[in-house]
């Protein structure tokens, strides 16, 4: 029997297939251990590789995921107290991209990339109130001894190649019973499907004859003879408690996080088990799962692991700290995880509670808060929290603090700092509640008075340990009547919920971006509640008369002018100067900070734009030349008019930089700015990517024409940004929208381009199959074709503003009889002008679409009286057989 004290390398497998491969690569196989603790349920194989004694363990059959891996590691450390380094070796799903030609049988080795951890623990579910747990923390890196060995082995492979296939052939020759399962499959079975091709949900068999049509496959060149096969890839691995089977999600994470591989165990080990993760690629992390490549992929990973151990000198391993000394941390990690789960479960409402909260409003502002606070430069904005006025507002009852300032002064980031401070300050006091709203000119359709009151009510109700009875009663009353709550009822219940807390904070940012009617009706109601409850209100806005008028009516009020502070500007510049393409001497750094701070006149937006201009410079002379252009703006009075003039000049200069780019970059930037400026609602990154990828006469989307998100942002030179949490692509500021609306010539033919792309998208072959028979299939259609929802509902708005060229394309679109008719779309969405135009172009007013419904049915069902009158005027029949309304 073997002495457990003699083993210094721990090797963990998740599956029996991986366990077999690991055993086959041992140079020697030892007797089982003399004894293990009674609570250790692992199965061990002991042996030797090179000069290292290795203990191999496997997860219990049927178990997988990060928590199972953590338990196996914990028991292994108890039983083998001298283990100092570890390997997690097995199979995983690849994430091929144009930067990483990953193929089945290749090996991915976990290494840090671009300053990011080697293993990313990503979203483990959107089941909790439609929120995703992204990264749960920074995972430890592999220990230096393993990283050094990887570097050495990589160099050796680059010079002399590897012998992985030879090693596998040798093993299979000695043990031919493994050949069928562990030998290399026919390379022709290595098929990479386009990301939009999904394996049928109701078909559990292989893809043969179902998905393997040539049009569904991505075409790849054969690997050159001088390239190692299998190829070893080095980079980040994503780990979660669920199997990755979504190609679009795979591609998104691969692009955003530089992920090469997906698996399910590593994140459970990295913080407590100093290990390297080695994965043989057995599939492509999509819906086309199969087992054919699993055995061979397990063998390639094990072969690499063996070569790696041969690179490590035994005395280096002996010098490492035994992992058993970290057992208390492992236990603490397990207990913390258990505590976190219990807290999450405690916070989760019952299913009915969730239904009620969603019924109140689906709108959430937490993602915007996450995005805004993440943009905060460390230590900036602290001055506001320390102001006497803020402290008085924070601590006294029934206070209102109105923070007004010029556009771009940084009011929204300061608002996020206030919200973050309140949430941290009162996180343990459930009697104090916080609710907030971020005004957004692009979301005015979901920011009417009733929407905003419902959102405040939802946030405050969520803060209670159990849903307030008044909210539950409101829901049931309206469910019985099949109605939505009236504004009066929403305000009444909001008042009730506010009074149930010892103190409530309501934060309203960017009131100037709400409709005038909305502001003048919302604020009086909020102030009425404040008069009867301990409610403190924090508001921000540009200086506008109706807000200031309502503000004067409230009980206890203070106002502050918000301007970018010099120390905040200098902090921002200090942290970004290193991004310039040259070494900047200290005296020039000071010159940059002083000049931009003075020129910006209290507008943080100008600071960002001015610094963007410096990013084109490559010499100190060019830097000083750019600074001289800013200096005239630093003279004169710091009035709002002067500052807005400086901002307009900055936008003009930015557009000059955009237009001086190479032609393809300039064209892409104009298309991006056109889409974002003219879109009828905010667009997600996927929607925008699909819109940009559509080309005239396309019958399907060409994935090879999809632009990377970072490219989309880069060509726009600071005018476009992506909210990471919500994945919404937007202009950098409200004033940017105003600039383009004022200078329409900057975006020529924007409406025409968007209209034609929407029409082309809706004409794709995928939509000619008619309606989806089930909701699940409809949801899948939306998922695989993210621009469909926007194009279907808003193409008419763009068409109204489009050129005659786009309107001439309508007859061709009308010929697409298999899908939902354009007139039915226009009628459903109340596009009277578009409906009139379609009828003039030959659309039949009584045509039935794929659901058996007429345009009149759609218009009347959605309450569009003007369209109903138009259709009747044009001869639509009033009496037709009723049709069943399926989802499209």
Question: What CATH number is associated with residue 842?
Answer: 1.25.40.20
pLDDT of residue 67: 60
As a whole number, mean pLDDT of residues 164-178 equals 96
pLDDT for the residue numbered 807: 66
Question: Is residue 435 situated within a structural domain?
Answer: yes
Q: Quickly state the pLDDT bin for 833 (edges 50, 70, 90).
A: confident
Helix/strand/coil percentages in the chain, nearest 5: 50, 10, 35
Is residue 133 pLDDT above 80, yes or no?
Answer: no
Q: What is the pLDDT of residue 635?
A: 46
**Contact assessment for residue 634 and residue 595, using Cβ atoms and an 8 Å cutoff:** yes
Indicate whether 630 and 759 sit together in one domain.
no
pLDDT for 520 equals: 84
Long-range Cβ pairs for the range 425-428 (8 Å, 24+): none
Residue 478 lies in a domain: yes
Note whether 393 and 486 are same-domain residues: yes
pLDDT digits (tens, 9 = 90+) for 434-449: 999 999 887 877 788 9
- Residue 185, pLDDT above cutoff 90: yes
pLDDT, residue 127, reads: 30
Q: Which residue has the higher pLDDT, 48 or 39?
A: 48
Q: Which residues pair with 434 in a beta bridge?
A: 505
Which of 797, 830, 854 represents a domain boundary (last residue)?
797
Element (H, E) at 54: strand 52-58
Q: What is the pLDDT of residue 128?
A: 29
Tokens of 168: 């596998």
Separation CA 103–CA 286 (nearest Å):
14
Whether residue 24 contacts residue 54, with contact meaning beta carbons closer than 8 Å, is answered with no
Contacts 24+ apart (CB under 8 A), 198-206: 198/247, 198/287, 198/780, 198/784, 199/286, 199/287, 199/288, 199/289, 201/776, 201/777, 201/780, 206/290
Q: Per the domain annotation, does 808 fall within a domain?
A: no
Considering the domain architecture, whether residues 151 and 272 belong to the same structural domain is answered as: yes
Helix (H, G, I), strand (E, B), or coil: what is residue 632? helix
- Do the beta carbons of residue 229 and residue 215 sit within 8 Å? no
| Highest-confidence segment of 214-228, 346-360, 636-650 | 214-228
Residues of 67-87 as b/e, b for ≥16 C-beta within 10 angstroms? bbbbbbbbbbbbbbebbbbbb
**Residue 840: Cβ-neighbour burial (10 angstroms; 0-12, 13-18, 19+):** exposed
Q: How far apart are CA 304 and CA 106, in angstroms?
A: 10
652 domain residue, yes or no: no
Token pair listed for 343: 């807290």
Residue 296 has pLDDT above 90, yes or no: yes
CA atoms within 13 A on the CB side of 470: 17
Residue 696 lies in a domain: yes
Helix axes 487-499, 449-462, angle to 10 degrees: 30
Indicate the range of 33-47, 458-472, 607-621, 790-804 predicted with least confidence: 790-804
200-214, 304-318, 327-341, 561-575: which is most confident: 304-318
Lowest mean pLDDT across 279-288, 349-358, 765-774: 765-774
Q: Residue 663 CB: number of other CB atoms within 10 A?
A: 7
687: nearest Cα among 558, 569, 786: 786
Alpha-carbon distance of 145 to 164, in angstroms, equals 22
Who's near 419: CB < 8 A, 6+ residues apart? Answer: 369, 373, 434, 436, 507
Higher-confidence residue of 123 and 512: namely 512
* CA dist., res. 595 & res. 597, Å (int): 6
> Residue 618 sits in which domain range?
566-640
Nearest 5°: CA angle at 516, between 510 and 518?
A: 80
Average pLDDT of the chain? Answer: 83
The pLDDT assigned to 240 comes to: 79
pLDDT in the model for residue 129: 30
Residue 331 pLDDT > 80: no
Per DSSP, 673 falls in state H
Is 409 a residue whose pLDDT tops 90?
no
The answer to whether residue 325 scores a pLDDT higher than 70 is no
- Statement to judge: residues 316 and 415 lie in one domain: no
Listed residues 558, 590, 622: the one ending a domain: 558
In this structure, are 264 and 205 located in the same domain? yes
Segment 49-60 shows an average pLDDT of: 92
Residue 32, in any domain of the structure: yes
Residues 369 and 334 in one domain: no
Residue 662 makes CB contacts below 8 A (sequence gap 6+) with: none
What integer is the mean pLDDT of 763-784? 72
Map residue 448 onto helix, strand or coil: coil
Residue at 479 is within a domain: yes
Q: Are residues 329 and 295 in the same domain?
A: no
The domain tally of the chain equals 6
Output phi, psi for 474, to 5 deg: -60, -45
pLDDT at residue 249, as a whole number: 83
Best CA proximity match to 669, nearest among 656, 687, 681: 656
Residues 403 and 291 placed together within one structural domain of the fold: no
Both 756 and 745 in a single domain? yes
Give the torsion sign (CA, 830, 832, 833, 836): positive
Residue 370 has pLDDT above 80, yes or no: yes
- The pLDDT confidence band at residue 166, using thresholds 50, 70 and 90, is very high
Of the pLDDT bands very low, low, confident and very high (cuts 50, 70, 90), residue 66 is low
Per-residue pLDDT for 329 more than 60? Answer: no
- The rounded percent of the chain whose pLDDT value lies above 70 is 84
Cβ(14)–Cβ(90) below 8 Å: yes
Please give the Cα distance from 535 to 499 (Å, whole number): 9
Say how far apart CA 497 and CA 82 lie, in whole Å: 59
Beta bridge partners of 538: 401, 507
Q: Is the dihedral of CA 218, 219, 222, 227 positive or negative?
A: negative
Average confidence (pLDDT) over 99-116: 91
Q: Look at residue 117 in the predicted model and tell me its pLDDT.
A: 82
Same-domain status, 623 and 742: no
Which has the higher per-residue pLDDT, 446 or 410? 410
Instruction: Provide the pairing of β-strand 432-438 with 503-509.
Output: parallel
Residues 333 and 386 reside in one and the same domain: no
Domain boundary pick from 299, 321, 343: 321
Quote the CA–CA distance of 348 and 247 in Å, as a whole number: 30
Statement: residue 827 has pLDDT above 50:
yes
Helix, strand, or coil (residue 558)? strand
Report phi then psi at 53, rounded to 5. -85, 125
Cα 655 to Cα 78, 501, 648, 660, 692, distances in angstroms: 64, 51, 11, 9, 20
Confidence of residue 534 (pLDDT cuts 50, 70, 90): very high
Which residue, among 778, 773, 775, 762, has the nearest Cα to 814 in the 3D structure?
A: 762
- Does 416 have pLDDT greater than 70? yes
User: Which one, of 471, 437, 472, lies nearest residue 456 by Cα?
Assistant: 437
Assign 3-class secondary structure to 314-370.
HHHHHCCCCHHHHHHHHHHHHHHHHHHHHHHHHHCCCHHHHHHHHHHCCCCCHHHHH
Q: Is the pLDDT of residue 137 over 50?
A: no
Range from 214-228, 591-605, 746-760, 805-819 carrying the lowest mean pLDDT: 805-819
Number of DSSP helices (H) and strands (E) in the chain, helices first: 37, 18
CA distance 556 to 81: 66
Taking residues 249-278, what's their average pLDDT? 81
Classify strands 399-404 and 556-561 as parallel, antiparallel or unpaired. Answer: parallel
Compute the average pLDDT of residues 90-115.
92
User: Do 787 and 838 contact (CB within 8 A), yes or no?
Assistant: no
Task: With CA atoms as reference, report the closest residue to 491 among 524, 465, 464, 467.
Answer: 524
**CA R_g for the chain:** 31
Do residues 316 and 348 share a domain?
A: no
Residue 280 has a pLDDT of: 97
Strand partners of residue 721 = 730
Residue 317 lies in a domain: yes
Predicted confidence (pLDDT) per residue in 235-247, tens digit: 999 987 777 888 8
Average pLDDT over residues 572-588: 86
């Amino acid at each position: 029997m073997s002495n457990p004290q003699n083993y210094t390398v721990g090797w963990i497998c998740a599956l029996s297939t991986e366990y077999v491969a690991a055993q086959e690569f041992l140079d020697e196989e030892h007797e089982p251990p003399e004894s293990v603790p009674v609570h250790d349920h692992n199965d061990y194989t002991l042996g030797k590789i090179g000069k290292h004694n290795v203990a191999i363990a496997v997860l219990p059959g049927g178990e997988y995921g990060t928590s199972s891996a953590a338990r196996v590691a914990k028991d292994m450390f108890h039983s083998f107290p001298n283990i100092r380094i570890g390997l997690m070796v097995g199979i995983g799903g690849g994430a091929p991209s144009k930067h990483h030609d990953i193929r089945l049988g290749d090996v991915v080795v976990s290494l840090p990339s671009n300053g990011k951890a080697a293993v990313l623990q990503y979203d483990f579910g959107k089941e909790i109130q439609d929120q995703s747990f992204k990264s749960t923390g920074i995972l430890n890196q592999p220990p230096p001894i393993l990283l050094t060995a990887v570097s050495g082995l990589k160099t050796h492979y680059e010079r002399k190649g590897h012998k992985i296939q030879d090693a596998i052939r040798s093993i299979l020759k000695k043990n031919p019973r493994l050949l069928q399962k562990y030998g290399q499959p026919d390379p022709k079975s290595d098929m990479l499907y386009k990301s939009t091709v999904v394996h049928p949900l109701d078909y559990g068999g292989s893809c043969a004859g179902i998905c393997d049509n040539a049009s569904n496959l991505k075409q790849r060149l054969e690997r050159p003879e001088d390239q190692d096969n299998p190829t070893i890839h080095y980079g980040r691995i994503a780990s979660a408690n669920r199997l990755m089977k979504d190609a679009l999600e795979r591609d998104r994470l691969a692009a955003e996080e530089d992920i090469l591989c997906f698996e399910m165990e590593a994140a459970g080990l990295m913080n407590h088990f100093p290990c390297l993760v080695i994965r043989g690629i057995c599939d492509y992390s999509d819906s086309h799962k199969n087992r054919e490549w699993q055995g061979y992929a397990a063998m390639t990973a094990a072969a690499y692991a063996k070569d790696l151990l041969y690179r490590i000198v035994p005395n280096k391993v002996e010098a490492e700290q035994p992992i058993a000394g970290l057992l208390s941390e492992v236990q603490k990690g397990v207990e913390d995880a258990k505590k976190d789960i219990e807290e999450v479960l405690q916070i989760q409402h019952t299913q009915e509670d969730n239904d009620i909260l969603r019924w109140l409003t689906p709108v959430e502002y937490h993602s915007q808060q996450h995005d805004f606070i993440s943009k905060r430069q460390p230590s900036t904005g602290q001055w506001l929290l320390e102001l006497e006025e803020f402290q008085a507002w924070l601590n006294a009852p029934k206070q209102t603090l109105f923070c007004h300032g010029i556009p771009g002064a940084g009011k929204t980031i300061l608002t996020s700092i206030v919200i973050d401070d309140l949430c941290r300050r009162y996180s343990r006091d459930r009697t104090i509640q916080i609710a907030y709203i971020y005004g957004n000119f692009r979301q005015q359709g979901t920011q009417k008075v009733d929407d905003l009151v419902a959102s405040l009510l939802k946030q405050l109700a969520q803060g209670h340990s159990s849903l307030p009875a008044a909210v539950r009663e409101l829901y049931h009353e309206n469910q019985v009547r099949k109605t939505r709550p009236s504004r009066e009822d929403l305000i009444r219940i909001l008042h009730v919920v506010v009074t149930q807390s010892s103190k409530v904070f309501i934060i309203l940012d960017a009131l100037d971006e709400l409709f005038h009617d909305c502001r003048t009706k919302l604020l009086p109601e909020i102030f009425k509640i404040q008069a009867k409850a301990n409610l403190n209100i924090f508001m921000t806005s540009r200086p506008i008369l109706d807000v200031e008028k309502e503000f004067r009516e409230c009980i206890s009020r203070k106002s502050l002018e918000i301007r970018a502070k010099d120390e905040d500007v200098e902090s921002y510049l200090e942290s970004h100067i290193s991004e310039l393409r040259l070494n900047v001497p200290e005296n020039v750094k000071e010159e940059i900070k002083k000049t931009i701070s003075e020129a910006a006149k209290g507008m943080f937006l100008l600071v960002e734009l001015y610094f963007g201009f410096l990013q084109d410079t490559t010499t100190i002379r060019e830097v000083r030349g750019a600074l001289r252009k800013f200096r005239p703006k630093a003279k004169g009075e710091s009035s709002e008019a002067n500052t807005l003039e400086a901002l307009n000049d900055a936008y003009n200069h930015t557009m000059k930089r955009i237009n001086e780019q190479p032609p393809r970059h300039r064209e892409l930037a104009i298309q991006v700015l056109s889409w974002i400026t003219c879109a009828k609602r905010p667009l997600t990154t996927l929607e925008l990517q699909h819109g940009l990828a559509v080309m005239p006469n396309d019958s399907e989307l060409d994935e090879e024409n999809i632009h990377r998100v970072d490219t989309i942002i880069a060509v726009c030179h600071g005018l476009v940004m992506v909210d990471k949490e919500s994945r919404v692509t937007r202009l950098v500021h409200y004033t940017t929208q105003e600039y383009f609306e004022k200078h329409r010539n900057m975006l020529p033919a924007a409406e025409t381009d968007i209209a034609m792309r929407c029409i082309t998208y809706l004409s794709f072959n995928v939509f000619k199959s008619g309606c989806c028979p089930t909701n699940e299939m409809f949801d899948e259609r939306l998922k695989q074709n993210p621009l469909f929802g926007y194009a279907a509902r808003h193409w008419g708005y763009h068409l109204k503003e489009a050129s005659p060229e786009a309107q001439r394309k309508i007859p061709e679109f009308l010929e697409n009889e298999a899908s939902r008719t354009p007139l039915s779309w226009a009628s459903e969405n109340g596009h009277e002008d578009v409906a009139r135009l379609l009828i003039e172009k030959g659309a039949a007013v009584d045509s039935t679409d794929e659901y058996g419904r007429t345009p009149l049915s759609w218009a009347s069902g959605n309450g569009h009286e003007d369209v109903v009158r138009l259709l009747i005027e044009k001869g639509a029949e009033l009496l037709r057989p009723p049709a069943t309304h399926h989802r499209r």
